[in-house]
Amino acid sequence: MGIRVWMHPKFNPTNKYNDLLSRSLENEGVEVREFSFKKIAKMKRGDVVHFHWIDSYYQKNNRWSMLVKSKIFFSFLYILKLRGIKLVWTVHNLYPHDYKWPGLEKKIRAQMMRLCDKLIVAADSIKQEVVKEFGIAPEKIEIILHGHYYGAYPAHHLSYRKKYNIDENRLVFLFVGAVKEYKGVIPLLTDFTNLDDRNSNLIIAGKVYDGLEKSIMQFKGKNGVILDLRFIPDEELADLILSSNFVVLPFKNITTSGSAILAASLRKKIICPSTPFMKEYFNDSIAIMYDGSDTNGLLNALKGCMSDRKNKDIPDEAYRAFLSKLSWKKAGENIKNLYLSL
């Protein structure tokens, strides 16, 4: 008898991760359907419901509305459990990037973790954080590595250096993605402009949030800074990243980093804080890591890249090892085996 899983979401318009995961499972013979509570009647004993991001099911700006919404959410989950349907949750982040009620948020997520039959995390460091923060038994948590993005974002061979009028010989640092406060873009701009390297550029490409527009715009045209402050569609991502030498990810607080995996999948070196997750996924051949608690950590990392321009490429062996380690076939096999264990 085959396995049927109801994935939320099966496909994600803003992240290729779910598409790749669903296809890897289908390649292993798992039937993957899009989850919705409206489809409860179609779900049968032994089916699996696999969640990824759950905050849309319970978050509200009003505390009491959030309590009511979360109660409704858990009522549906209890119905699923009573019908013999198994629950799995991939915990991508300990908490959502945006939330208003910390205490309530923690209680809801802890309750969800206790209710699930299995939790999946992408690294041992995340497992340890989940155990510590929410008091979950370690044996309930399975570590399955996040797959790579090789081939997921095809290149169209457009030169963003030409678009931004950047000479081919210049060193290009890139930040790409939603520009939010926790991602550390203002400190990156400050450090880069203070270095005033006449042979380097920093591109900030992404839509601005959290009221940062005024702070970002003060760096426009300053010391090699190029701003492209709009949502970057999927079809532009690969060419934009391939036009750079380094992808800079100065996040202040991050659990799993799909952006880092995407950059490395396109064979671009990463500059990032030496978080436990980053150290588990990347080595010195792929990432230039700095101490995030050191106020000069990012500055010195940028300075080092500017002075050692020959060390900007990922070696063949390191690149092949990275893609092998984050194989989607392995991920599909491991998650299928997890479903079977339920």
Condensed to tens digits (0 to 9), the pLDDT of residues 297-342 reads 999 999 999 987 767 889 999 999 999 999 999 999 999 999 999 9
Distance CA 78, CA 70 (A): 12
Residue 14 is predicted with a pLDDT of 78
AA identity, residue 279: K
3-class state of residue 276 by DSSP: helix
Tell me which DSSP letter residue 84 carries: T
C-alpha–C-alpha distance, residues 176 and 137, integer Å:
37
Is the pLDDT at 254 greater than 90, yes or no? no
Amino acid at residue number 315: P
Q: Which fold would CATH assign to domain 160-324? A: Rossmann fold (3.40.50)
User: For residue 218, what are its two tokens?
Assistant: 């003060």
Answer yes or no: are the C-beta atoms of 169 and 200 closer than 8 Å. no
Distance between CA atoms of residues 318 and 297, nearest Å: 25
State whether residue 173 is helix, strand or coil.
Answer: strand
Distance CA 31, CA 205 (A): 38
The answer to whether 251 touches 182, Cβ cutoff 8 Å, is yes
- In percent, the amount of the chain with pLDDT more than 90 equals 86
> Which H or E element spans position 321?
helix 316-325
Split at pLDDT 50, 70, 90, the class of 194 is: very high
Q: Is 335 exposed, middle or buried (0-12, 13-18, 19+ CB in 10 A)?
A: buried
Domain ranges within the chain, ordered by starting residue:
4-147+327-341, 160-324
User: Per this entry, what is the length of the chain?
Assistant: 342
Confidence (pLDDT) at 278: 92
pLDDT value at residue 304: 93
pLDDT for 129 equals 96
Q: How far apart are CA 283 and CA 153, in angstroms?
A: 23
pLDDT at 1 exceeding the cut of 60: no
In terms of DSSP bridges, do strands 86-90 and 141-143 run parallel, antiparallel, or are they unpaired? Answer: unpaired
Q: What is the mean pLDDT of the chain?
A: 94
For residue 201, the cross-strand partners are 172
Q: Which CATH superfamily is domain 4-147+327-341 in?
A: Glycogen Phosphorylase B; (3.40.50.2000)
**CB count, 10 Å around CB of 167?**
9
Cβ proximity of 207 and 229 under 8 Å: yes
